[in-house]
Amino acid sequence: MEGPAEEPAPKGRGPAAAPSGGGGGGGHKAQRVAMSPSVVWERAGPEEAEALVGGDASLPPGGSGPAAGTPPGQMGTYPTDLTLQLLAVRRKTGLPDPSLQQTVRSRLRLLENDSQEVARALGELSARLLSIHSDQDRIVVTFKTFEEIWKFSTYHALGFTHHCLENLLVDQAFWLLSPNEDEETAVQVHVDQEALRLTHESLLAQEGPVFVLCPDHQVRVKTSPRGAGSGPWARRRASGVPQGEAALAVDSSAPSPGTFSEEVAAAATPETLIPFHQWALRVPWDPIDDSVNGPVTSDIPLMATGLATAVADYQGSGPEEMTFRGGDIIEVLGAQVPGLPWCLGRHTASGQVGFVRTSLVSVQGQVSDLENVIFLNEEERSFFSNEGRFSEEDARQLLGRASGTDVCTVYSLDRLEEAEFGQLEEQEVPQPCLHPEPRETLQKVKNVLEQCKSSQGCPEEPVSWGLCTASSGASSRESEEPSFGLDAGADWAHPEALGSLLLFLDAPGYKACFRGLYDLSLPGLSTLFCGFSNEKELAGHLAQARGAAKKAGFPMALARLCFLLGRLCVRRLKLSQARVYFEEALGALGGLFGDLFLVVAVYANLATVHLKQKNRDKCAQVVPKALALLLGTPSHICSTEAESELLRHALRRAILCRSPQAEARACFLLAKHHARLKQPEEALPFLERMLLLHGALGSPEASWPADGYLLLADIYSRQCLPHLVLSCVRVASLRARGSPGSSLRSADLVLRNSPRLHRPPSQTAHYLRQALASVASGPLRGPLCASLAQLHSRHGQQARAISFMMQAMEAAAGTGGRLAVDYVVALAWLYVLCGQSAVALDILESVLDMAVASVDQEGVIANMAAVALRRTGRTRQAAEGYYRALRVARTRGQLRNQAVVLANFGALCLQAGAGGLAQHYHLEAVKLFSRLPGRECGQDFTWVLLRLGRLYTRRALARQGKCYYEWAFLVAVETDHLEGQLRAVQRLCHFYSRVMPSEAQCVVYHEFQLSLARRVADKVLEGQLLETISQLYLSLGTERAYKSALDYTKRSLGIFIDLQKKEKEAHAWLQAGKIYYILQQNELVDLYIQSKCSINMQMMCSLN
C-alpha cells in the first residue's frame, strides 16, 4: 500500500472544533487562538517571502484568515487536483493481475456515464470527483479547502482509499472467491506524492501562518506578507524514514545547533510540521513556558519505566515533591513521559513517594516498544476490546439471520414456474456432479443422523460459544464495583453516625466503592447522594462533615470531602470557591499518595480551574504535575470533563519534544476520554492518529489495532459514512488478526452499512471465513459454515453452498440434537435448488427413517419432499406430501406454513392442468397471508399474488389479474423487497403492453422499472429498458415525445458502448439517426448513420 508522506488528521473533528461529516465540504469557521511564548513567531523577510507562500504545511481549525495569499492571477499555476491511479495486483507478490485489471477498466467505463456512486464514495473520502478516464485506469479528484485534502491524506495513509474504490469496481462474485494466498488479488490506489505535496501547498498558500521545525530543532511559527511571491516552499524531507513515517520523525542527519554556522542556519529551509501537529499545537491558551529544558537535540526521546539514578541533589519545595541526593535509586511509578518536567517515583531507600524532577534523574530502562508505552497495564490494553464489544447474544442473532435455519422451521415455497413470469430464471437444470459424490454424501448424512439418534435421549443444554456474555461499553470491572453513596435520611447530627462516615472516608488507600466519587463517566453525584432535594442541601451536609473531619484529624476523609465540595462548586460555576476546596484537599493529603486515584483527581480538577481562570503562576505550578499524573498513571479515573483540555496540553508537549511515544500515549488517553463520555466524534482525530503511529512504529503482531479499527468503523457508521465503514473493517482484517468476536462484529458492520439489495452483501464472506479459520472446533463452527452456505446459495453458487453445509452438518454432529437435523434438512433443500431433487429425496428419507426429526421438522420435510417429487414428475406422491405437511401446519397452528403449502398445492394443480383448483388453493393461501403481519409474510406473499394474477390473466379476467399484480407490488414495497418490486413491475409492464394496451401506463411502469434496475445495478437490464422506453415514446407521435425518445436512445447508446455490445450499439446509432431525421435535423443524420456503418465494419473485421 502506498501512503502519503504526511498523515494528517481530519481537521475540525477534535474537541476544539465542530465535528464534520465525511463529505467534501469544509464548513468550519476559523477560531483565533493565542500562542504560547514557548513558540517563536517569525515573519519572513523579503528573501523568504516567495518561498513561504506555498509552504507545505497544514493550518489547523484555529488558524486565522489568509495572511499570505498568492495573487489571483497566479493561483492557477498551482494544482488543486490529484490523479488516482488504479492498479490490480496480487496481494502477496504485488505483481499486476491482468484479469482483474480488465474488470476494473470495464467497470470504470460504466461509471464514466453514471458517476453518482463514485462521487458519493469520494465525498466520504473528502475528495471531489473531477473526471474518470477508464482507458487509463485513472480517476481525477479535486479539493477546494485544506480540510478536504487533510482528511483525504489521512484516509489514504490508513488505506481506506484502496478499499473504498475496490468495493465500487468489483462485483459481488469477487468477494465470494477463496483463492490461495499467492493468488489473492486486490485493487490499489496510487497517488503521486509530489502532486499531493504541491496540492497541499497550493491550498496552504491561502491559510496564513504555519508551524515549522527549524534547523536548531525548535518549533517556530512562520508568517508571510500578503501577496509576497508565489513559489512553493521547498520541503526538507526526513532522511532514512519509511514512507508514511516521515510525518513522525525529523531529519536525524541535521547537525546540532552548535555545528551550524549562522550563514548555513539562515539559508537552511525549515521543515513544515505535519497537519495533525499543526492542529494540535493550536490551543486556546497555553500558560506554560516551554517545558523542554536545555539544548534541544535531534535525538527522539523515549518514554521510560523502572529504576532511575539521581544525578544531583534536590530539596523538595513541598511535601508532594521528593527530596533526594545524587546517586540515590528511585523507582519510577507508571512512566516518565518526555516533554514533562515531573514524574512520580518512590525512593527505594526511604520509601517516600513523590514528584521527581526528570532533569535530575537518569532512567535505566527506556522503552522502545510502542505498545508498552501506549498501554501501561493490561486494563488499558483491553480498552478497545471492551469498548463496544460484540456479545455472544449479538453473534447468535447475526448467525441466526445469516445461516438461514428458518428453512427448517418455515415451509419453502416452490418457485419453479417463476421463469414463466419474469423470464429471469430457467427451468430446473441439473448441475454437474458435485463433490463429494451423492453416494458419499448420503453416507455422511446417515452417520450424522446416527450420532443424533444416539444422543436423542440426552437433554440439550445451551452451549457457550466462548464469546463475551453481554454487550458493554465499559469494562466488566467497572460494572461489578460497588458504588459509594450517602443517604439524606441518615442522622448527620448524630456523632456516632458522622463518626462512622468519617472513619469510612479516612481509608488510607483506594477502595472500589470510592470510584463513584472520582469517576465522571458514572451516573454522577445525583445518584451517589440519593434523597437530597438539591445540591445546596447536600453541600451543607458535606461542609458539616468537613468541619468534623478537620476537628477529628482525619486527613484522607477531609481530602475526599473537600474534593466533593469542589466538584459541587464547579457544577455551579463557582470556580474560586472550588479552587479553595481543591487546594485544601491537596493540603490535607500532605504528600500522601496512598490513594493515587484521588491524587490524580484533585490535581486534574485544580489544574482545570486554574486554566479556566487563566492564572498563569498557579498553572505553572500545578499543570505540569497534573500532566505527569494523567500520562504516567495507568488506568487513572476520569474525574472532570475538562480533562481533555489538560491532555491536549500534554499532547502539545509531546509534539514539541518530538516524542512519537508520548504523542501516542496522549492520543490514546484523549480517545479513551471521549469514548467514555460518549463523544465519539471528538475521539476521531486522536484514534486515527494513534492507528497511524502504530502503522509506522508499532509491532505488526499487536492485536489491539483490530479492535481500534472496529471502534473507528463504528464511529463512521454513526456518522452515516458507509463506504468508510466497509473500508475500515477491511483494513482491520488485513492488518491485524482478530478474534472470532471481532470478525463477527466486522460482518455485522458490513451488513448494517451495505446497500439493501435483494441479496445479502457478499463482502461478509471474508469475515465469516476469517472467523471460521480462527475456530478449529467447537459449537461456533456449525453456524459459521451454515452462514457461508446460505450466503453462497443466495448468490447462485449452490456447489460451494453444499460444501459449506456439509461442514456445518459434520460440525454439529458432535453436539447432536435439533441443530444437526436442521443442517441436514437445509442440505436437502440446497440439492433441490441445484437441480438434484433425487439426492434431496434420499436425504429426507434418511431423516424420516432415523426418526430423529421433531414434529415441526416432519412438516418441513413433508413439504420439501413434495417439492422435490413435483420436480421429478411424481404428481400423486407430491400431492400426498403436501397434504401431510398441511395437516402438521394446521395441528401446530402455523398460518404461514399453511398458506405456503396451499400455494404449493395450487402450483401442482396448475401443472396438472386443473386451473380451477389452482385458483381456489391460491385464493385460500392469499386469505391466510392477509391475516399475517406484513413483515412476517416475507417474500412468499408477493410470489403468490403474482402467480394468482397470472392465473386470472390466463383465464381472460384481466382486471382481476391487474389488481393482484398491483397488490403484489404494494406488498413488495411494504416489505422493502427489491426483487419482488422488480418482478411485479415487469408483470405490469407486460400487462399494459400486451393484455390491456395503454401507452401512458406502460411508460409509467417502464420508467419505474428503470429506476429499480439502477438500484440493483443491472446495466444490461437498464440498457434494454432505455431502448424499450424510447420505442414507447416514438409511438406517441409528438415532437415532445420524439425528443424524449432521442434522449433515451442516447442513454442506451452510452450503456451499450460501455458494455461493448456491438450489435446493440449499432442499432442505437441507427435509431438515433432515424429520430434526428423525424425531427428534421438532417445535418446530424449522416453522422449517426456513418457511426452505425463503422460499427458494422468493426464487427465484420472481428469475425474475419
Domain 484-521+524-636, CATH: 1.25.40
In DSSP notation, 25-87 reads ---PPP---PPPTTSEEEE--HHHHHHHHB-S----TT--S-SS---GGGGGGS--EEEEEEE
Cβ neighbourhood burial of 959 (10 Å; 0-12, 13-18, 19+): exposed
Q: Which residue has the higher pLDDT, 604 or 255?
A: 604
Rg (CA), the chain: 36
The pTM of this model reads 0.82
Q: What share of the chain is helix, strand, coil (3-state, %, to 5)?
A: 60, 10, 35
> Which of 1003-1024 are b and which e, b meaning 16 or more Cβ less than 10 Å from the residue's Cβ?
bebbebbbebbeebeebebbbb
The CATH number of domain 641-737+739-773, selected from 3.40.50.150, 1.10.510.10, 1.10.3720.10, 1.25.40.10: 1.25.40.10
Res 249 pLDDT > 70: no
pLDDT value at position 651?
93
Q: 3-class SS at 214?
A: coil
Sheet holding 128-133, edge to edge: 128-133, 138-142, 81-90, 185-191
Mean pLDDT confidence for 166-177: 86
Percent of residues, the chain, with pLDDT higher than 90:
38
Query: What is the DSSP code (8-state) at residue 312?
Result: S
Report strand pairing: 219-223 vs 40-43.
parallel
Q: Is the distance from CB of 662 to CB of 631 less than 8 angstroms?
A: yes
Q: Which residues contact 381 (CB under 8 A, 6 or more apart)?
A: 371, 375, 704
Amino acid at 381: R
First to last CA, the chain: 44
Distance CA 813, CA 630 (A): 54
Given pLDDT bands bounded at 50, 70 and 90, which one contains residue 129? very high
pLDDT value at position 85?
94
Given pLDDT bands bounded at 50, 70 and 90, which one contains residue 828? very high
Grid coordinates of 168: 465500487
Distance CA 1, CA 162 (A): 8
The CATH number of domain 1018-1104, selected from 1.25.40.10, 2.40.30.10, 3.40.50.970, 1.10.3720.10: 1.25.40.10
Q: Is the distance from CB of 930 to CB of 896 less than 8 angstroms?
A: no
Distance CA 216, CA 294 (A): 12
CB atoms within 10 A of CB 553: 10
Res 46 pLDDT > 60: no
CB atoms within 10 A of CB 828: 29
CA distances, 82 to each of 31, 145, 165, 237, 281 (Å)? 29, 14, 15, 21, 28
> Which of 298-330 are b and which e, b meaning 16 or more Cβ less than 10 Å from the residue's Cβ?
beebbbbbebbebeeebebeeebbbebeeebbb
956 dihedral zone (left: phi>0; alpha: psi -120 to 50; beta) = left
Res 428 pLDDT > 80: no
pLDDT value at position 466?
64
* Domain residue ranges in the chain: 40-281, 305-366, 484-521+524-636, 641-737+739-773, 1018-1104
Of 197-206, 433-442, 933-942, the poorest mean pLDDT is in 433-442
Distance CA 972, CA 977 (A): 5
Of 221-225, 276-280, 303-307, 1020-1024, the poorest mean pLDDT is in 221-225
Sheet holding 40-43, edge to edge: 40-43, 219-223, 210-213, 271-272
Digit-coded pLDDT (tens) for 728-757:
999 998 876 778 888 899 999 999 998 876
Of 770-784, 868-882, 909-923, 981-995, the poorest mean pLDDT is in 770-784
The alpha carbon of 288 is separated from its chain's Cα centroid by a whole number of angstroms, namely 38
Digit-coded pLDDT (tens) for 551-601:
889 999 999 999 989 988 988 889 999 999 999 999 999 989 999 999 999
Q: Is the distance from CB of 223 to CB of 42 less than 8 angstroms?
A: yes
Grid coordinates of 862: 413433508
Q: Is the distance from CB of 207 to CB of 183 less than 8 angstroms?
A: no
What is the tally of helices (H) and strands (E) in the chain?
A: 48, 15
Distance CA 117, CA 214 (A): 44
pLDDT value at position 582?
94
Percent of residues, the chain, with pLDDT higher than 70:
78
Distance CA 776, CA 780 (A): 9
CB atoms within 10 A of CB 988: 24
Q: 3-class SS at 593?
A: coil
Domain 305-366, CATH: 2.30.30.40
Cell numbers 385464493 label which residue? 923
Grid coordinates of 70: 498568492
Query: What is the DSSP code (8-state) at residue 290?
Result: P
- HSE, side-chain direction, 13 A CA sphere, residue 598: 33
CA distances, 799 to each of 784, 830, 1001 (Å)? 17, 9, 42
Mean pLDDT confidence for 213-222: 82
Cβ neighbourhood burial of 569 (10 Å; 0-12, 13-18, 19+): buried
Q: Is the distance from CB of 344 to CB of 356 less than 8 angstroms?
A: yes
Q: Is the distance from CB of 525 to CB of 541 less than 8 angstroms?
A: no
Cα–Cα–Cα angle for 843, 849, 855, rounded to 5 degrees: 90
Q: Which residue has the higher pLDDT, 655 or 75?
A: 655
Q: Which residues face 366 on adjacent strands?
A: 304
Grid coordinates of 325: 541526593
Amino acid at 446: K
Res 779 pLDDT > 70: yes
Q: Which of 237-246, 417-426, 436-445, 796-805 has the highest mean pLDDT?
A: 796-805
Cα–Cα–Cα angle for 309, 312, 314, rounded to 5 degrees: 105
Distance CA 515, CA 524 (A): 11
Amino acid at 721: L
Does 1018-1104 match 484-521+524-636 at the fold level?
yes
Cβ neighbourhood burial of 128 (10 Å; 0-12, 13-18, 19+): buried
The alpha carbon of 804 is separated from its chain's Cα centroid by a whole number of angstroms, namely 28
Mean pLDDT confidence for 506-525: 74
Digit-coded pLDDT (tens) for 761-775:
888 999 999 888 888
If you average pLDDT over every residue of the chain, what do you get?
A: 79
Grid coordinates of 665: 500515549
Q: Is the peptide bond before 436 cis (omega within 30 degrees of 0)?
A: yes
Distance CA 601, CA 637 (A): 7
Amino acid at 696: A
Distance CA 14, CA 61 (A): 9
C-alpha dihedral, 1013 to 1017 to 1018 to 1019, nearest 10°: 100
Amino acid at 962: K
Given pLDDT bands bounded at 50, 70 and 90, which one contains residue 627? very high
- Helices 940-954 & 915-930 angle (0-180, nearest 10): 150
> Which of 11-42 are b and which e, b meaning 16 or more Cβ less than 10 Å from the residue's Cβ?
bbbbbbbebbebbbebebebbebebbebbeee
Report strand pairing: 210-213 vs 219-223.
antiparallel
Amino acid at 613: Q
Residue from 532, 482, 472, 942 nearest 675 by CA: 472
Grid coordinates of 718: 454513526
Digit-coded pLDDT (tens) for 277-302:
888 887 666 666 544 444 455 567 88
Q: Is the distance from CB of 210 to CB of 273 less than 8 angstroms?
A: yes
Grid coordinates of 1025: 429498458
The alpha carbon of 186 is separated from its chain's Cα centroid by a whole number of angstroms, namely 19
